[in-house]
Structure 1
Amino acid sequence: MATKKLARESSQTEYLEILNNLIQNWESEVVEFKEAKSHIDDDKVGRYFSAISNEANLREKQYGWLVLGVREADREIVGSAYKEKALAKFKNQIARDTTGGMSFVEIIEIFPLVNDQPKRVVLFQIPAAASGIPTGWKNRYYGRSGDSLIPLSQDKIDAIRNLQQIDWSNQIIEKSDLSFLDPHAIKIARSNYIKYMNKEHIKMEVDRMSDAEILTKLKLMRDGKLTNAAMLLLGDSQYDYVFDAPPQVMWRLYDANGLDKDYKIFDIPFITVVDQIYQHIRNLTYRYMPDQLTLFPLETQQYDPQLLREMINNCIVHSNYTLGSRIYVNEFDGRIQFINPGNFLPGSIKPVLEPGYAPPGYRNPLLANIMRQFSMIDTAAMGIRKVFKIQKEKYFPMPDYDLERHNIVSATVYGKVIDENYTKLIYEHPEFDLQTIYLIDRVQKHLPIDGQEIKTLRNLNVIEGKAPNIFLTPSIAQSIDAKAEYISNRGFDDQYYKDMIVEYLKTFERAQKKDITKLLWDKLPDVLDEKQKNFKISNLLKALQNSTVIKRNSENRKTGYWVLVDKNNDEE
């Protein structure tokens, strides 16, 4: 999102007043001034974002500020030349590593006059941490002590987490009663609860209890009235008018060209929705060979039923129902996309894959607890890891999580192989953990990974090429197609290309660069783009020239030719 570039007159007044107030009435914990004449470290901005967001929450403020172009020591306006293009990327960069994908409310450029000269100042408006959830940066929490940046103390973490958090799923629906629920859904809930508890005396107790008694025991009813969680999971759809917007799940089928072929909308009760959707999904038998040394391919369903169950129920438990949006299950050729309204509370997928991960909280605590007791989800923070493990065991691509859009979480699971090299690597290295496989998966999908992650994969000998054009190295390239693809990506060593140039000049005596380019172009690695291929050819010619193998017959680059060095004549 681009910065909000204001006009230099009346429309700036509001933000100029804000800047003046920040300078005059400085609160060090919720405001940070930086000169940032030309650069500011992204990671440091992320830490300040976390700290200011948390301190704003504790001081019951809606937001705090990071101000570029004001000297910290004396709060003198000096102006900032930080590039506008870099500012435009800040929102997405910050959202990638903050809790819940939080980012700046606004990034605003203003031009206050100092000695009659306009000075550029950039205001970053930082939202306060959400109620009950501290704002983290790269899975760490930061705070302020005066104007110092420090780890957020445990007492402050506890203070934020103990702030009253409204649980939508626990709210009572006035003028509701047991008659609003679906009897069949209640029967399923009873059965699932008994199986979950797995104790004979509890089964006997539940069998003796009326529906109202068991629902009250589970906190789904209070004083004879239903909670939102009760209505969502067990409600009769004819009474869905009790919600501001009726909760729905929509399944859509698309063909190979992305055109919609079919759809169906599912209403409450959501305790039965997984089975209904599963009946519509085309779960074909898929055959593939992770190991080329065997003649017998593996056979599996494209989508593991347990995986589909986890994905749909995770959408249900984590949705923000106050937004009034549907949950979507979009079925494409070889992949299924799951979309739910609400932000992703962990912030990014990487920390979730770490052993011992502890979630920052649940959007709907009562709903999460009930769905666990109804055997619908795993609330030990293992649901996403379980899905990744299922795909790992099948040697399939890892799920993709798109968290870039505001208040939307999109997850895609794959029902077929994308890159045979990936499949072979996962098959041959069962010791790889989920974090490593996640990185290998990003390489097969040509998604970016950072320098340290590239180093990690190089140490494992699973990638080749130069960043950003890295590709997977197959440990065994058995099939003709796999061998061809591998060589196309890797290319040949430099001596091979140099020998071709020399042979060309021996045959035709001279060549311009365009002739050499035509000779080598299709033989260079496919992972190189046009600019990189031209650069590679120039380097090869320069290397041969430095080795006195070839030379130019003229100083004019446009009309001159490359020729072989006649060493006999040169020696004379």
Structure 2
Amino acid sequence: MTLDPVMSAERTRRLVDDLRAKPAETTWIEFKENNADGPLIGKLISALSNAARLADQHYAYVVWGVRDGDHAVVGTSFEPTVKKEKGQPLELWVANHLQPGIEFRFEEVDHDGQRLILLTIPAAATAPVEFDRTAYLRIGSATPRLSDHPERLRALWSKLQPYAWETGVAAQFLSGDDVLARLNYANYFDLTGQPLPDNRQGIFDKLLADRLIQKDVSDRWNITNLGAILYAKKLSDFGPSVERKGVRFVAYAGTGRADDVSHRQDGQRGYAAGFQGLVDYIDGLLPRNELIGKAFREERPLYPSIAIRELIANALIHQDMTITGAGPLIELFSDRMEITNPGAPLVSPDRFLDSPPRSRNEALASLMRRMKLCEEQGTGIDKVISAVELHQLPPPDFRMEGDAVRVVLFAPRRFADMTPEEAVRACYQHAALKYVGGQKMTNATLRERLGIDDQNAAQASRVIRATLDADLIRPADAERPRAGYVPSWA
């Protein structure tokens, strides 16, 4: 989130004083007076960016105008906006020689009448930062090649693997009052089952432990992307990059997007604060079907509540947060519901049911499970398929669409009205669900799942044959045809 100029200048001055207060240069802080050599700056950015990630820092810094030995402010004549390198503006020249690109930033600082220059360098995020195709590292006052220190290279890669959007900063340089005003902290304690501390320090200790906030310079605080996306009272408080991750819901009067919009809701609160309200809102819009059982009538929603809940939670957890301007989208049509989240899936959609769970947003997923907003790891899709089968709905369709994942839940339809493709998909999902539950699909279990009468067993046999021909299932025992069927990957 961008600070206003006055606040930004104040934060920068405090940051410089915090850096000067360090007893000595660290691997992610460098002090200089006037040295403004372009290649030297490029190597420093590579070295300090990589060193910052190793030191679990979000940023590294170079300050011109501070004496190295005693950190006294002496001022500098370095002017990065004027400096040229090989005929190009310095910033452009350095940026063109870095891979992957990072958003380093020069700032001029007025420190009690002395002119300083602060260079802020983001820590390496996805790969070691290279200058002229060589990655560097800071060790003491030396800047060696990273490849000359394989043990540190391995350590750096291990640090890079878990780096996630969640750890980024959504708002910075906030007072304690500002943090508590922007986050629904009472909701955090309530949903995680923790008693609300009776003092401010206890509240901040808990928020800090779950990485919802982090310390900034002086006595100020940052709110992380994780804290904002889960507990924001208003997502708009955190700028477009967070606000546009809000969940959008649109209901149409017919079967297509050209039909009139009957209801629309754009998520304004964090996921934790708004999740249950969203599920209840959608559930309240759904028509009810009257199920006539053996002894009583029962009204059921058009779609199972557990399926809606799990699919929305999955969309939140598995979305690619780095795709700008896009968030989860829920669309309700007269004949189906579509739930879309940005980002290509980490596993093939036809293996959602059985593959070990993988999430881009592990901290988000962990907190969602702790708050019981979704099922335990790896069981959500099982619950969805089970609920769909219990309601004898057409099989859900899990598919990739461009750089997004879309799941379609279909309104009730008899087996006779299903397409051949839907029948095959239902057979495959049924076999997979049986297999992960330690059982095997048979003609009888498939008939029950599809609502086929016993006297029409041949219809189930034709579906099984078509699914075999599609190489989605196989006999559990080739020598015993009645042993049942399992997914082809089993």
- The TM-score, its normalising length taken from structure 2, stands at 0.49
- The TM-score, its normalising length taken from structure 1, stands at 0.43
